[in-house]
Amino acid sequence: MAIFKYKDEEALGIVLSVDTATVIIKVADLDKLRRMQVNRLVVLQSSKPGQHLIGLVQKITRSSVEQEQTGQKEADEVEMPALPPQLNLVRASLIGTLIDRVGMKENVFRRTLETVPEIDAKCFAVEGDVLTQFMRVITNVPGEGQKLSLGHYTLDENAEAFLNGNKFFQRHAVIVGSTGSGKSWTTARILEQAAALPSVNSLVFDIHGEYMPLTGNGIKHYRVAGTGDLGNKKGLVDGILYLPYWLLDYEALITMLVDRSDQNAPNQAMIIARTIVQMKRSFLETNSQKELLENFTIDSPVPFSMDALLTELNRLNSEMVPGAKAGTEKQGDFHGKLSRMIARLENKRTDRRLGFLFQLSEEATQLSWLSDLSRTLLAGTCQQTDKKGGIKIIDFSEVPSDILPLIVSLIGRLAFSLQQWTVPEKRHPMALFCDEAHLYIPERAEGDAANEVSIKIFEKIAKEGRKYGVGLVVISQRPSEVNHTVLSQCNNLVTMRLTNAEDQSVIRRLLPDSLGGFSDVLPLLDTGEALIVGDASLLPSRVRIQEPNAKPNSGTVDFWDKWLEREYKEGINEAVNAWRKQNLK
């Protein structure tokens, strides 16, 4: 059944001018104009029968008789030509075509303009039942099974807002909004729905431990080992994650171990490279890995002994070599040049906060360990041994902030590399949810080597991830501080209330040109309300996100309420103690 049945007397107005995808509509009836609102939908008669052009209202102008008179007065003063008589105008951008029938299918919406409207064509407001019906068409995301639904349209509370779950993850997505606008709840809602799918596969980078309350069959929690976990023999099966130093690639290791401002930095980097290759080779020799020996590189994830590395560095740092004259000795090439690096390495190795990198169990120094880690983190629900938890939420809250980019990107690289090295027919797609992305995928590295390493990895995933079935969901309160190359690769935009002008302008640039005006509502959105634009939704739309069943921890402290209480728990001694021990437990 056709949705649009025009009755001439219900027309909003007629087309006055057409400019590519923008039309100006002249409205005669003031009542009808008053009912119009920006971002509402209009439909235009098309020259082809059975086709209807859909427009999004961008601007409404009314020139009343009164305004016209004053306008004319001013115009007289500067000797401008008189304005035309009363003109009520609606400007709309055309966003697609609804076709009554295509083959066997009824009511098909396409995001292309199959025709252009003609001057004097009639235009109608899409409202009431017609709007509900139209939204149903729009949201009828094809495919069987459970669909990705975020909530309901603000325009029509009865119409459920579905997204195309393939396109949402295929072409990357961003979720942005000022703090407290509802990003984490939206993320939780998406995760919750995905978790119900039998073979879901995702990693969530949870920087502050916000997503702890999310539970269920599809979800598992991991925490990067903190100081309190060291030595207690808990590991992967207990949800405690160690990320051995030998998984870091050369650049990441150099970032950790070499101080760029040291005058010996280039020498140190060179020595580290040489020694690590030696160490990896000797590990492979000891373990009789003939095939690997022929092909490994410095970046290959092959274990090596940190003790042996330090012994070798110390040897070079104090090496004496035969002098020019027989029987004499002189200092070796690197004598004394490695001292600062060795001290740095010793510090890191004993720093309890970095225990997850350096204070490893016996298993974590074995070649086979990478397979265990990978199976745990990168298998979907069905492939997990217990058939649970294809969504892996990784809590990074105990990782020191200066190396956070190195550690998050280490897991990003692990995911990407494994997908890349999986034969296409066995590749199982996975999404990486990057919460607080500005912290580890910043716009400017500002000379921070850890940021540089991380930006490089995430840029690669953003650009090439689609080929290998890795989707990014970038979540941030400061889109202007998130790497723009990464953002510009994201074809789905979920934007919540955004008050900062810089952030708004970054988002505006991501919007299609025809929707420029849409962004004016960014600062006005309600908490939990989002503008959704992109590949995954047929129409740019304003959606009230439905509350997730399990709510993320907001981490918001109610100052005034707390101050109103007559008693509070004293914890200062414990805090002092914990600070010294570097252990909260």
Ligand X SMILES: Nc1ncnc2c1ncn2[C@@H]1O[C@H](COP(=O)(O)OP(=O)(O)O)[C@@H](O)[C@H]1O
Instruction: Give the interface with ligand X as residue ranges (CB under 6 A).
Output: 177, 179-185, 527-528, 545, 547, 552, 554
| Minimum distance, C-beta of residue 407 to Mg ion, in the bound complex (Å) | 20
Query: Is the CB of 181 or the CB of 268 nearer to ligand X?
Result: 181
Q: How far is CA 339 from CA 47, 253, 313, 569, in A?
A: 80, 17, 9, 47
Q: What's at 442, amino acid-wise?
A: P
> Could you say which of Mg ion, ligand X, none residue 117 binds, taking C-beta under 5 to 8 angstroms by partner kind?
none
184 contributes a contact to Mg ion by CB under 5 A: yes
| Minimum distance, C-beta of residue 554 to ligand X, in the bound complex (Å) | 4
Query: Is the CB of 226 or the CB of 552 nearer to ligand X?
Result: 552
Collapsing DSSP states into helix, strand and coil, what is residue 200?
A: coil
Q: Which residue has the tokens 């590949």?
A: 535
| Minimum distance, C-beta of residue 506 to ligand X, in the bound complex (Å) | 17
Q: What's at 421, amino acid-wise?
A: W
Query: Is the CB of 186 or the CB of 489 nearer to ligand X?
Result: 186
* Cβ(415)–Cβ(377) below 8 Å: yes
Q: Residue 348: phi, psi to the nearest 5? A: -65, -40
181 contributes a contact to Mg ion by CB under 5 A: no
Size of the site for Mg ion (CB under 5 A): 2
| Minimum distance, C-beta of residue 104 to ligand X, in the bound complex (Å) | 38
Range in contact with Mg ion (rule: CB under 5 A) among 3-11, 183-191, 302-310, 562-570: 183-191
* Cβ(532)–Cβ(163) below 8 Å: yes
> Could you say which of ligand X, Mg ion, none residue 177 binds, taking C-beta under 5 to 8 angstroms by partner kind?
ligand X
| Minimum distance, C-beta of residue 205 to Mg ion, in the bound complex (Å) | 12
Task: Output the CA torsion sign for 6, 7, 8, 9.
Answer: negative
| Minimum distance, C-beta of residue 422 to ligand X, in the bound complex (Å) | 33
186 contributes a contact to Mg ion by CB under 5 A: no
> Could you say which of ligand X, Mg ion, none residue 476 binds, taking C-beta under 5 to 8 angstroms by partner kind?
none
> Could you say which of ligand X, Mg ion, none residue 363 binds, taking C-beta under 5 to 8 angstroms by partner kind?
none
> Could you say which of Mg ion, ligand X, none residue 182 binds, taking C-beta under 5 to 8 angstroms by partner kind?
ligand X
Task: Output the CA torsion sign for 305, 308, 314, 315.
Answer: negative
Q: What tokens appear for 539 in the block?
A: 């129409």
* Cβ(451)–Cβ(410) below 8 Å: no
Query: Is the CB of 436 or the CB of 443 nearer to Mg ion?
Result: 436
Query: Is the CB of 17 or the CB of 179 nearer to ligand X?
Result: 179
| Minimum distance, C-beta of residue 4 to ligand X, in the bound complex (Å) | 32
Query: Is the CB of 241 or the CB of 545 nearer to ligand X?
Result: 545
Query: Is the CB of 313 or the CB of 394 nearer to Mg ion?
Result: 394
Collapsing DSSP states into helix, strand and coil, what is residue 356?
A: helix
> Could you say which of Mg ion, ligand X, none residue 266 binds, taking C-beta under 5 to 8 angstroms by partner kind?
none
> Could you say which of Mg ion, ligand X, none residue 514 binds, taking C-beta under 5 to 8 angstroms by partner kind?
none
**Residues paired with residue 393 on neighbouring β-strands, in sequence order:** 204, 221
Strand extents, DSSP E, 192-319: 202-206, 219-224, 240-241
| Minimum distance, C-beta of residue 517 to ligand X, in the bound complex (Å) | 24
What is the C-alpha to C-alpha distance for residues 469 and 310, in angstroms, rounded to an integer?
40
**Closest alpha carbon to 278 in 347, 270, 266, 356:** 270
Query: Is the CB of 184 or the CB of 227 nearer to Mg ion?
Result: 184
178 contributes a contact to Mg ion by CB under 5 A: no
Query: Is the CB of 184 or the CB of 451 nearer to Mg ion?
Result: 184
What is the C-alpha to C-alpha distance for residues 62 and 71, in angstroms, rounded to an integer?
13
Query: Is the CB of 181 or the CB of 480 nearer to ligand X?
Result: 181
As a 3-state breakdown, the chain gives helix, strand, coil percent values, each rounded to 5, of 40, 20, 40
Give the contact letters, 305-344, x = binds to Mg ion (CB under 5 A), - = no. ----------------------------------------
Query: Which alpha helices (H) appear in 59-182, and where do they start and end?
Result: 65-77, 128-139, 165-170
* Cβ(50)–Cβ(98) below 8 Å: no
The count of other CB atoms within 10 Å of the CB of residue 286 is: 9
Give the contact letters, 132-171, x = binds to Mg ion (CB under 5 A), - = no. ----------------------------------------
Q: How far is CA 396 from CA 34, 146, 204, 222, 468, in A?
A: 52, 31, 10, 9, 26
Q: Which residues contribute to the site for Mg ion (CB under 5 A)?
A: 183-184
